[in-house]
Structure 1
Amino acid sequence: MTDQNQWQNQAWGTGQPQGAPAVPGASPAASPLQGQQAQPQPQAQPTYAAPQPAYVAPVAPAPAPKRRGWIVGLAAVLAFFILGAASIASCTAVMTSSMGAFSYESPSWADTVTGDTVGIINIDGTIQYDGTTSSPEGLKAQLDAAEQNPHIKAVVLRVNSGGGVATAGEEMSRYVRDFSKPVVVSCASLDASAAYMISSQADYIYTAETSAVGSIGVIMSVTDLSGLYEKLGISVDNITSADAKDAGGGNRPLTEEERAWYQAQVDQINDVFIKTVADGRAMTEDAVRALANGLTYTGIDAVGNGLADEIGTLEQAVAKACELAGIPDADTVYLQSSTSDLSRLLDIMGEQNEDTTTRALKELEDRVGLE
């Protein structure tokens, strides 16, 4: 509600001239014509008292009693906004992937490579389906092009990612495993979870001493907003074909049976993760399971426990790739698809929607006093 700081029905006064009262006992002035018939004398002009204010100062209205009915309306608008932001973000991912399909079919670097070359592929940010080299479709496009290009002798994956979608990580790890030319990983600051699942399939892994490596494990987040809805006076009726169809929808807590169901899925996916790492790193599954505590290790510890091979830089990773390819040295080229302007715009829109939603939720929390 906007503040209403305007006075309505203001009373405006008008200054009225007021004549001076007669002074008791005052005699009229003597006439200079003595003995003549007295002539009427003009009365003195009236004097005015100090003028009155031209208006009466309005009295501020009493503050209206606070009402909390706006909370329900705000919550409804906020819920609509969140759903809209989620829809836009979803459309962003789909459209970005679609637009990317037109660009990574013909890599921009293919016509510039001559002589022995090591291709460098950046895997940066969230592992997901967005058409970039941090996605299955984007990585596969670059690996396929490198496979077919006779000048590309090996590939270095420059990884700086904390993970992402488990299925995307699984697909990407298969593409790396099936690539016929040498693959060397250079860990940047972070190589964790699904990103490490991909890295584990390389022929050699370099890491910095301070890199965070590992985080072998699976997480599934289920949000329960029923307490918030109750506080805001919002009710949700789900019409479902089965009792568990709305499980994880956020409108109610999970039942014990549903929680056990999801836990079994998490455990199964974790087994796939452990087996993939064990195969890629030539370790036993028991050895990997002992390290699969969900936490990251420093680069120093990762080399010590077998999750990485050596402390080194990107340049050392390129030199190792040349060694594995059997060439003395090589040029380097970054293998990446060109991103359309529309794709970049959609990414920016998605980020802005997320930021706006976060601010709106924070404001709602401050106003309502959520605990």
Structure 2
Amino acid sequence: MPELPNYSEQPNVQEETKTNVPEKKEEQDQGSLLSKIQTLGQTNIPQMEGSSIHCLTIVGQIEGHVQLPPNNKTTKYEHLIPQLVAIEQNPKIEGVLVILNTVGGDVEAGLAISEMLASLSKPTVSLVLGGGHSIGVPIAVSADYSFIAETATMTIHPVRLTGLVIGVPQTFEYLDKMQERVINFVIAHSKITEEKFKELMFSKGNLTRDIGTNVIGKDAVQYGLIDEVGGVGQALKKLNGFIEEKRKDNDCQDVMQ
């Protein structure tokens, strides 16, 4: 007669599962904590739940159609453009804070970002921290209101080409037209005059090995390039003011309808 299995000796699967659940959760929490420490150098991340403001950071070099080496810190325009479209479509986002610390980069990519920021229907405020150089200048002035830190700088210089350049008059005309696009955009979205901006752009002696001008904090405001000297607190206060004004306008339109 065959022996019947002894069920009393079988391990209790249900009990094992129950005891493993807390261990797995603890391991996940530890993994998440280590990830936060490695990524941000801290254990707690400030929560933005319920905030109606989206913070858009533009740092390093603005990458265009050519991919830069992996050791370069870059802002990719193919990442920013979908974000801006999503911001425009998201009803929960009522304002955009743009923080810049960039050395510049691709002219067409920078102008594309600038045009998208300028065409947003939601209030925008920009803040230049550290530097907003080269094509970072049009991005900084594309917002409804712009701030610059007292120690931050903005380098204004002519458009350059890198790589193979064909030495024909058409190349110069192409560069000249591209430069005019940058100049016209900056003049249209700031208080600086065309004469003053071109004077800063083609100035000699300010930059050691280049033509142009390095503009610092208060000077940028004095020239009319940036609206105000300030930091994060002032920028957020201004943006919240814009948001409140837009809410009141929308309420008035709803009442009239």
- How far apart, in 1, do the equivalents of 2:200 and 2:226 lie? 13
**Which structure has greater strand proportion?**
2
- How far apart, in 2, do the equivalents of 1:119 and 1:266 lie? 35
Alignment match, 1:168: 109
Alignment match, 2:33: none
- Say yes or no: does 1:126 pair with 2:61: yes
**Which structure has greater helix proportion?**
2
Higher RCO, Cα 8 Å, sep 6+: 1
Provide closer, same or farther for how the CA distance between residues 217 and 208 of structure 1 changes in structure 2, counting only shifts above 3 A: same
| Shift of residue 286, structure 1, vs aligned partner | 2.8
- Say yes or no: does 1:305 pair with 2:223: yes
| Shift of residue 282, structure 1, vs aligned partner | 4.3
Query: TM-score w.r.t. structure 2 length?
Result: 0.65
| Shift of residue 326, structure 1, vs aligned partner | 1.2
Runs of 4+ in structure 1 off by over 4 angstroms are none
- How far apart, in 2, do the equivalents of 1:259 and 1:300 lie? 41
**In the TM superposition, what whole-angstrom CA distance separates every residue of 1:95-147 from its partner, at most 9, and x where no partner exists?**
xxxxxxxxxxxxxxxxx9754521111100111136x9933322221122222
- How far apart, in 2, do the equivalents of 1:303 and 1:141 lie? 31
1:326 to 238, 244, 249: 244
1:147 to 88, 92, 96: 88
Task: Note the residue ranges of structure 2 that are not aligned, 5 or more in a row.
Answer: 1-46, 68-72, 203-211, 246-257
- How far apart, in 1, do the equivalents of 2:149 and 2:51 lie? 27
- How far apart, in 2, do the equivalents of 1:191 and 1:202 lie? 14
Provide closer, same or farther for how the CA distance between residues 280 and 155 of structure 1 changes in structure 2, counting only shifts above 3 A: same
- How far apart, in 2, do the equivalents of 1:209 and 1:113 lie? 27
- Say yes or no: does 1:218 pair with 2:218: no
Provide closer, same or farther for how the CA distance between residues 150 and 117 of structure 1 changes in structure 2, counting only shifts above 3 A: same
- How far apart, in 2, do the equivalents of 1:154 and 1:271 lie? 30
**In the TM superposition, what whole-angstrom CA distance separates every residue of 1:1-50 from its partner, at most 9, and x where no partner exists?**
xxxxxxxxxxxxxxxxxxxxxxxxxxxxxxxxxxxxxxxxxxxxxxxxxx
- How far apart, in 1, do the equivalents of 2:113 and 2:155 lie? 17
Provide closer, same or farther for how the CA distance between residues 209 and 291 of structure 1 changes in structure 2, counting only shifts above 3 A: same
Residues 9-158 of structure 1: matches in 2 within 5 Å?
A: 115-129=50-64, 134-158=75-99
Is the Cα contact below 8 Å between 2:192 and 2:223 reproduced in 1? no
Secondary structure at the aligned position of 1:121 is classed as: strand
- How far apart, in 2, do the equivalents of 1:169 and 1:306 lie? 21
Identity %: 30
Letter in 1 for 2:121: S
Letter in 1 for 2:226: A
Aligned length: 185
Alignment match, 2:190: 281
| Shift of residue 308, structure 1, vs aligned partner | 0.9
**In the TM superposition, what whole-angstrom CA distance separates every residue of 1:212-264 from its partner, at most 9, and x where no partner exists?**
11424211235xxxxxxxxxxxxxxxxxxxxxxxx54xxxxx7xxx1544333
Alignment match, 1:316: 234
Provide closer, same or farther for how the CA distance between residues 326 and 120 of structure 1 changes in structure 2, counting only shifts above 3 A: same
Letter in 1 for 2:59: D
Secondary structure at the aligned position of 1:134 is classed as: strand
Letter in 1 for 2:225: L
Is the Cα contact below 8 Å between 2:114 and 2:138 reproduced in 1? yes
Alignment match, 2:147: 206
Is the Cα contact below 8 Å between 1:127 and 1:164 reproduced in 2? yes
Which shows bigger deviation, 314-323 or 114-123? 114-123
Alignment match, 1:182: 123
| Shift of residue 285, structure 1, vs aligned partner | 2.7
Is the Cα contact below 8 Å between 1:207 and 1:312 reproduced in 2? yes
- Say yes or no: does 1:159 pair with 2:100: yes
| Shift of residue 148, structure 1, vs aligned partner | 2.0
- Say yes or no: does 1:291 pair with 2:200: yes
Is the Cα contact below 8 Å between 1:216 and 1:295 reproduced in 2? yes
| Pair member with larger Rg | 1
Secondary structure at the aligned position of 1:210 is classed as: coil
- How far apart, in 2, do the equivalents of 1:314 and 1:160 lie? 13
Alignment match, 1:269: 178
